[in-house]
């Protein structure tokens, strides 16, 4: 997986709606990326208002 969501996530859900394959879902207090479903397009990174998503 090329992208990860850090602890800076505020659980706003903005990234979830930007993912074209539905690879992002709510986890334990923050959103998580399903590495098996992720196509590494980077849409989520640009959609995060707090910059909590970055390349691993």
Continuous segment of H or E residues that includes residue 32: strand 31-33
- Quick one: pLDDT band at residue 1, thresholds 50, 70, 90? low
Half-sphere exposure of 13 (CA within 13 A, CB side): 1
Average pLDDT of the segment spanning 38-50: 95
Q: What is the CATH number of the domain that holds 9?
A: 3.30.70.20
Continuous segment of H or E residues that includes residue 5: strand 3-5
Q: Which residues contact 27 (CB under 8 A, 6 or more apart)?
A: none
The whole-number pLDDT of residue 40 equals: 93
Provide the residue range defining the domain that includes 21: 3-55
Domain count for the chain: 1
The whole-number pLDDT of residue 25 equals: 97
Residue the block writes with tokens 């993912």: 19
> Which tens digits make up the pLDDT trace of 6-41?
999 999 999 999 999 999 999 999 999 999 999 999
The whole-number pLDDT of residue 29 equals: 92
Average pLDDT of the segment spanning 1-10: 90
């Amino acid at each position: 997986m090329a992208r990860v969501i850090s602890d800076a996530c505020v659980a706003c859900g903005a990234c979830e709606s930007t993912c074209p394959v539905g690879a992002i879902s709510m986890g334990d207090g923050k959103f998580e990326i399903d590495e098996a479903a992720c196509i590494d397009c980077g849409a989520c990174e640009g959609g995060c208002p707090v910059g909590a998503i970055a390349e691993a």
